[in-house]
Chains A and B, each alone.
Chain A
Amino acid sequence: MKRLTLAALLAATPAVAQDLVTRDRVGLPDAPNVMTFRLTPYDLYSADAATAEHFAGLFTEFIRARPDWRIETQLQTGDIGPEQARLLQQSQAGRGPDCAMVDSSQLALFRDMGVLQPMNMVFSQDEVADLFPYVREAVTNEAGDVLAWWWFTDLRVLYRDTSVVPEAPATWEEAQAAARAAADAGREGLLFNAGRWEGTAFDWLANFWAQGGRLVDDAGAPVFGAGENRAAFLAAIAYYRDLVESGAAPARVTSITNYDAFNAAAAAGSAAMFVGGNWQYGQLRETLPEAQFANWAVSELPGPTADQRATGTGGWAIAALSEDPAKRALCGEMAKEIYAGPGNAYQGLLPTSAALYDEYDAYDGPEFDLFAEALRNGVARPGAAIYPEISNQIQILLGDVLSGSAEPEAALDAAFEAAKAAHARQ
């Protein structure tokens, strides 16, 4: 009876419907069942009004079908490392939210710490089987439990202004030559992240992975500074250093700490190429005048040779942290019904299930063929507790080398020793 009353109330007036989504709640304020949900600020609470409105509609529809539930939302900032560390710590202490967005690179750590709760009741075996292999491996355990739902993935690609760089560079050498020629023509040849933040390490790692390099061994210990990994590491550093020293990339790359800088450079017409994320394609289409956007194209990241390619794959997962079966189910249903399908299609994010690419028209564009092709060379960051510190050391190393403060060999030695010392203390 109470459920019927709530359902009637939800459908009653537009004013009530508007109140179903607030800054800290989805659903009626007096709904008897409560699930807390910690989310990122990129969808329901996006700074982009259209995105926020679209997700508010999806959440409204979702909660109308579940009138006796209230979702209390908690916003996490974009400072991923500290936010995820705090989330893990709170979950271990039993003070975490019931459901949360977990960065894909942190999934293994959360899994190893035993805080992820199965959501098997929501996802069928066929749906799990349809996930990309590296995604399926990350979200399931040996028993086959679905411990999280990695609802979108992303990758790094090379953007180029075809009026300056007509042909896509396939190798490092070709990229440097094209960037050098663009610089001679008065443009910034090739831009990439090299400031002190996660994007710097993640984007650059593609060059290391393309040579088969490994950051950690099977036990999660750092190995990037020894043996064949060391040679691959130094070669990848030399690629970036040569870009800067030759003028193919401006020295200011060591101050770039966000992807928006590339959109701004593209809009200003100052950049010829940049290493960016697949999501920026849609942003450029929205930002640039049609004629200017028509000049921009994407291609796979160049490798040491045309056959050696890699790209870093990331994305976010939704995981249940509560042991309550009803909350685990609601968490999974939210991931499935809001985020993995219609939410991804609206934002142009890359689903992790092959079937969803056919289900939505949003993925008909030619760029998605390229993204799908590049994903075949996708490499996820290692799910080891030491990864954030390795990333930190790579950021320091690249900043030092590219600004001329350190030699690559010495910088690598320092980074490797620091990572090993940190691992020993973990």
Chain B
Amino acid sequence: MTARGPAPADGRPWPWLVPAVLVLAAFYAVPVADVLRLAFSDATLVRPPERWTTAALSALLADPALPAVLRTTILFTAVNVIALQVFGLLIALTLVRGEARGLRGMTAFRTLVLAAWVVPGIANGLIWQMLFDEAPYGTLNSLLGLAGFGPVAWLSDPEMALVSAVIANLWQGTAFSMIVFYAARKGIDPVLYEVAALDGASPWRTFRSVTLPLLRTAVAVNTVLVTVQTLNTFDSILALTGGGPGRATEVLALFTFNTVFYNLDLAGGSVLALMLFVVAMAMAVLVHGWLGRAR
């Protein structure tokens, strides 16, 4: 057996890193820098920036709509992130268990869950808008009526509308969490489960002491990814409720969209985009730090 020889990058990594750094800079850093530039300008959608100013930031902080939008965003994101993890994990574990037992139809089940994931956000919103239709002939309310329940004010009641938006997002987003957890679970050495079975561990104890600890990294990474995805969600809400009734379902990403395209306020929209960026980065740094401590 011979020792490994020097790799091309040993000692002089920069020539190998430069292409990747340039690509990242061109496609990620430059747009972010441009948003930063616009945020501290007086740019509108119909007028290029003419001077540096913090007026957009001041106007945003003084906007009475912002607290309500932030509250809605936090609630929408928190509920989604927790539920996406729980449902994703449940489906992933069900799949693995079903495959281990040789159950038929597991591939079809996995495909079915993934099908929702490939539906564009706008289409997702439109599909659920039809299902939640509160007309006397609306799909879900008609089904509830057959069972002796309802009708439910899915989209016209401000609180229920947010619940409906969460349901639509969960339907679409669960598949992503399922993939992450499915891959992580498949990576756990089966010997650990054989040992647990020999020791007479119950399914719950096995889950708590073997599966969950070994999925910790996957949970952390998935938390960051689904948080960022959920924070950026606006297309499905735009199609489902448009942010209404009132501002009941207007999350930060949709508020940003409205600020730019209805108010024509490019500087204000850039400030909001920066806010989203900062929140997402903070989440990533927090989880990275937590992972580092856990190692």
Give me the interface of A with B, judged by CB distance under 8 Å. Answer: 81-82, 85, 88-89, 92, 109, 113, 188, 194-197, 250-255, 257, 261, 264-265, 268, 270, 385, 388-389, 391-392, 395-397, 399-400, 402-403, 405-406, 414, 417-418, 421-422, 425-426
Contacts and interface: CB of A to CB of B under 8 A. Distances in A.
Shortest beta-carbon contacts, A-B, top 4: A196-B242, A196-B244, A399-B245, A255-B155
A268 B262 contact: no
From DSSP, what is the main secondary structure of chain B's interface residues?
Answer: loop
A255 B241 contact: yes
A400 B245 contact: yes
Contacts of A397: 246
A418 B44 CA distance: 17
Main DSSP-derived SS at the A contact region: helix
Nearest to A418: B65
A309 B169 CA distance: 43
Contacts of B132: 255
A417 B65 CA distance: 11
B156 A253 contact: yes
Contact of B137 (A89, A109, A197, A270): A270
A85 B44 CA distance: 11
A392 B241 contact: no
B126 to A, nearest CB: 10
Given A85-B45, A85-B264, A265-B135, A251 B156 contact: yes
Given A109-B46, A268-B136, A402 B263 contact: no
Contact of B64 (A254, A257, A414): A414
A402 B136 CA distance: 20
A261 B262 contact: no
A164 to B, nearest CB: 15
A312 B200 CA distance: 75
B45 A196 contact: no
Given A251-B156, A255-B155, A261 B135 contact: yes
Given A113-B46, A403-B156, A85 B246 contact: no
- Range of interface residues on B (Cβ < 8 Å): 35 or more
Contact of B46 (A385, A403, A406, A421): A385
24 contacts: A81-B262, A82-B257, A85-B45, A85-B260, A88-B46, A89-B46, A92-B46, A113-B46, A195-B155, A195-B242, A196-B243, A197-B242, A254-B156, A255-B155, A255-B245, A257-B129, A385-B46, A385-B264, A388-B262, A389-B262, A396-B244, A403-B245, A425-B267, A426-B44
Contacts of B65: 418
B248 to A, nearest CB: 7
B43 to A, nearest CB: 11
B56 interface: yes
A257 B257 CA distance: 18
A403 B157 contact: yes
B261 interface: yes
B280 interface: no
B268 interface: yes
Contacts of B246: 196, 396-397, 399-400, 403, 405-406
B120 to A, nearest CB: 13
Contacts of A254: 155-156, 244-245
A274 B225 CA distance: 45
A88 B261 CA distance: 11
Interface string B232-247: 0000000001111111
Contact of B258 (A188, A264, A392, A399): A392
Contacts of B264: 85, 385, 388-389, 426
A270 B245 contact: no
Contacts of A261: 133, 135
Contact of B244 (A109, A389, A399): A399
Contacts of B55: 425
A253 B258 CA distance: 22
B174 to A, nearest CB: 25
Contact of B263 (A195, A388, A400): A388
Interface string B111-148: 00000000000000000010011111100000000000
B214 interface: no
Interface in B14-72: 42, 44-46, 55-56, 59, 62-65
Contact of B261 (A85, A396, A399): A85
Contacts of A399: 158, 244-248
B153 interface: yes
B154 A389 contact: no
A113 B246 CA distance: 32
A422 B154 contact: no
Nearest to B154: A255
A250 B156 CA distance: 10
Given A109-B46, A270-B137, A389-B263, A425 B56 contact: yes
Contacts of A92: 46
B63 A195 contact: no
A274 to B, nearest CB: 12
Interface in B235-288: 241-248, 257-258, 260-265, 267-268
